[in-house]
Amino acid sequence: MGEFLPKNGVEEFEIFVVEQNDNSPFNRGKLLNIGSKIAMEEGFDYLCFHDVDLLPIDADYSYPEYPSSLISDIENKDGDILFRYFGGVTIFNVEDFKGINGYSNNYWGWGFEDDDLFHRVTHGGLYFDVEKLGVNNRSTFFVEIMEEGYVKVPIDPTFIDGDFTIELTARVKSKFFDDNKEYDEYPILCLPGYNIGIFYNSFNRYFFQTFDRDKTPYSITSNVLDDGTFTFRITKRENKLSMYMDDQFVGDVEMESDILNMGNDFIYVGSFSDKETIEFDMDLISLSFNDEKISSTDMLLKNAKLLNGVELSHQSSIPKPIRRMGLYRELYHNNNASIEKNWVHRETRNNQLFYNNVVKQNLNDFTTDGLNSLDYELINTKNNKGYRKITVKI
């Protein structure tokens, strides 16, 4: 970095490496607050927060007018950068960073301190970008499904035996994750038993799941998305299943035998079944089977109500970070995220629960958690060639 920055127009800088030396779980947000506090006391006018495992290949570290992510691509990593991603390498001017009180100090272990930081940006009066999701349509008739409620629609039990198309437009709203679980799954549309249908999980992904007669599972999963309004379409042609969202192809899967048929007389929206309901709010805008729209007179409602004459947009405006074009190389490290349906570290689940159930519900006051509540013990400061190493207990 000491060579990269001057070659790319940054002449005056200092690199601070803040190291935690105690038995507490790693706290990235607090360490970055410590480094930023020292830098601001020494008169620096902007700050770049940088994971040590990301090496810049082509990146812009110039003064930021607005909080920005510097990463648009990682050369040795599969998949696109998530549109909400605000970790890795971010840059702030000092005034903006002070204005949101820095990072939260409450995230111990891996994950979610960067989501919290972007929540502060969007709720602290700073500039951010917007991603438009959904189609540009509006409805004046929909069903509002409340906690532990559902819409129940009768179906022919043989419906899933042949070719079919299911299309559903729904708005998924904010939800609470269960403290007693390691993973959350929310039914958007479900055939009970082996729970065939469309679901949303606590990894912020939508997916279609089914089983064949041998009880072999199959699934098609979206990229990471947020709450919003989406049109889902599931098609079955022979034993090939395909999933679309807002007319965009998500994926397909070929089954080895027919779908497992449990003989259901009803399909559920917003619930797994009559007996297995969940705290989950959503709006059902439309539902059709084989291109035949289901009338409200064919819907059985529990803890749900029809709303007529209230305009509801099919499009969602999702906040996302301002992102500069920047190419990075990621150094190898062990996976700290998730394996199948579980986080690698229990602390990550705790962080997820705090972020989703407290921060996203605006139940945490960021003006009292951050730079102004920072508590640490300075152990050592050592000037090395090209950087300053700061060792702390937190």
Question: Is 134-317 the same fold as 4-128+321-393?
Answer: no
Residues 4-128+321-393: name the CATH superfamily: Spore Coat Polysaccharide Biosynthesis Protein SpsA; Chain A (3.90.550.10)
- For residue range 25-35, what is the model confidence (pLDDT) as tens digits? 999 999 999 99
Helix (H, G, I), strand (E, B) or coil at 38: helix
* Whole-angstrom distance, CA of residue 77 vs CA of residue 79: 7
User: Mean pLDDT over all residues of the chain?
Assistant: 91
**Cβ-based burial of 330 (10 A; exposed 0-12, middle 13-18, buried ≥19):** middle
The per-residue pLDDT for 72 is 93
Spell out where 67-157 has E strands: 68-69, 73-74, 89-93, 129-154
Q: With contact defined as beta carbons under 8 Å apart, do 119 and 272 qualify?
A: no
In the chain, what are the domain boundaries? 4-128+321-393, 134-317
Distance of CA 274 to the CA centre of its chain: 29
| DSSP secondary structure letter of residue 63 | P
- Count of CB atoms situated within 10 Å of the CB of 306: 13
Is the per-residue pLDDT at 338 higher than 80? no
Which residues 6+ apart lie within 8 Å of 114 measured at CB? 85, 86, 87, 88, 90
- For residue range 147-203, what is the model confidence (pLDDT) as tens digits? 889 999 999 999 999 999 999 999 988 788 999 999 999 999 999 988 899 999 998
With cut-offs at 50, 70 and 90, classify the pLDDT of residue 333: confident
* Lowest mean pLDDT segment, chosen from 65-79, 245-259, 279-293: 65-79
- For residue range 113-153, what is the model confidence (pLDDT) as tens digits? 999 999 999 999 999 999 887 777 777 789 999 988 999 99
Count the alpha carbons within 13 Å of 14 in the hemisphere toward its beta carbon: 17
Which residues 6+ apart lie within 8 Å of 244 measured at CB? 232, 233, 234, 235, 250
The per-residue pLDDT for 192 is 92
The per-residue pLDDT for 370 is 97
The per-residue pLDDT for 110 is 92
Q: With contact defined as beta carbons under 8 Å apart, do 301 and 223 qualify?
A: no
Q: Are strands 16-20 and 387-393 parallel, antiparallel or unpaired?
A: parallel
Q: Are strands 73-74 and 327-330 parallel, antiparallel or unpaired?
A: parallel
For the segment 64-73, the average pLDDT, to the nearest whole number, is 96
Q: With contact defined as beta carbons under 8 Å apart, do 178 and 184 qualify?
A: yes
CA geometry: angle at 164 spanning 262 and 147, to 5°? 60
| CATH number of 134-317, picked from 3.40.50.620, 2.60.120.200, 3.10.20.30, 1.10.486.10 | 2.60.120.200
Is the per-residue pLDDT at 112 higher than 90? yes
Distance of CA 14 to the CA centre of its chain: 33
